Amino acid sequence: MLPVAQAMPTNILMPALSPTMEKGNLARWLKKEGDKIKSGDVIAEIETDKATMEYEATDDGTLAKIVVPEGTQDVAVNSVIAVLAQEGEDVKTAATSAKTASQTAAKPTAAPTPKTSDKPAPAAATGAPKAASAPAPSSVPRGGNRVFSSPLARRLAKEANIDLNRVQGSGPHGRVIARDIEAAKSGRGLHVPGAPAAASPLAAALSDAQVRALYEDGSYDFVPHDSMRKIIAQRLTQSKQTIPHFYLTLDCDIGKLLIARAEINDAAPKDTDGKPAYKISVNDFVIKALALALQRVPDANVTWTDGGMLHHKHSDIGVAVAIPGGLITPVVRNAEAKSLSIISNAMKDYAARARTRHLKPHEYQGGSAAISNLGMYGIKDFAAVINPPHATILAVGAGEERAVVRKGQLAVANIMTVTLSTDHRAVDGALGAELLAAFKMLIENPVMMVV
């Protein structure tokens, strides 16, 4: 007689809610142990650096065991967060099987972080000679028998089968630390024997302890970074270190735009409560003008990759929105084909949901260019940091009355200063100037946006 197949428990894994997501926070469980679950039920809320997403079940069964409690931060993608008992399976047996899963899920948070592990270990703990008697790291040849490195870096190098003699250190005095091993895994930062020595690494930033030692205890409040602030810091640092920024600035006369804006808003249809169907802002004109400018200068509507250039067919414009703890850049897709009223209403919806962190990943990922507008704060002009994978970002200042000269006569005009930051690998000076000139022509003659 054939044995009866037994139902097996299903591990519920931490989902990857975006292509770049590596960790997330388990904000809240919406089901409790013992609850019946159907496919499509929302069982938890997962918090990424940009948004809070609902996690839907993909199978039917009973929630046998919650492995990762709500409120847990930095849960690695694909780690087990719960166990689902399928129909016909004993719930207690499934819950028992979660013990191993729990240990697996705990590993990412139990591992020491590079920040703490990369501090020089005490001489007594490592058996290394004291700093006073140790030879200067810079005097040790890369091919020598000893390379100065952190304990974590040595472990990671051993696991990845990487020769420490070939790794370019970026720590103090050229010390190899964890991030150098991670870079070496992708082929970056490796020293080729016989090749010229690499340029001296940048000086390492002050550690947390070094910074706090500069200030008297009790003279400050310490607020730990949340995941959003950490990711913003990482990406902006990466942007400035890896993208050669180039800046172009010019002034735009927005007198005609302000007249057109007032006429459009006055003519907006109203509902029974007297609320207008739309209210166009200057920023809506800026989005539309940049989108059309990218269509007129298609060689600037690109994204750089090491293998080649991505030439985008549409103008997908990201717009920086300030939210508590940071910022997010929702993307207006196909902005060149959208009317000003559609762009305006879309941005109001994005901004409202961004502030409650309820944007979906596809609503803020990708895009071909971006806009950062600080005019509402009275900022006259500034230069914005490029948001990868974009090749350009337009920084928009306040529109204000300024003295200008027209046909030899002094006059007053409404002037708005804009600065275009470009990735010089993809959009060089002349091409950036061409794009900015196309933008200026459109923003100064708004009727051209509807032709």
Under DSSP, the state recorded for 149 is: B
Tokens representing 159? 């696991």
11, 21, 41, 42, 75 from 58: Cα distances, Å = 11, 20, 8, 10, 20
Which H or E run includes 265?
A: helix 255-266
Q: State whether residue 216 is helix, strand or coil.
A: coil
> d(Cα 113, Cα 103) in Å, to the nearest integer?
18
Catalytic positions, please? 424
Radius of gyration of the chain (CA): 28
For residues 353 and 299, give the distance between their C-alpha atoms in angstroms, rounded to a whole number.
33
User: Which residue in 59, 33, 30, 60 sits closest to 45, CA to CA?
Assistant: 30
In sequence order, which residues have a C-beta less than 8 Å from that of residue 92 and are 6 or more positions away? 64
Q: How far is residue 324 CA from its own chain's centroid?
A: 15
**Of all residues in the chain, what percent are helix, strand and coil, respectively (each to 5)?**
35, 25, 40
Phi, psi of 321 (to 5 degrees): -125, 125
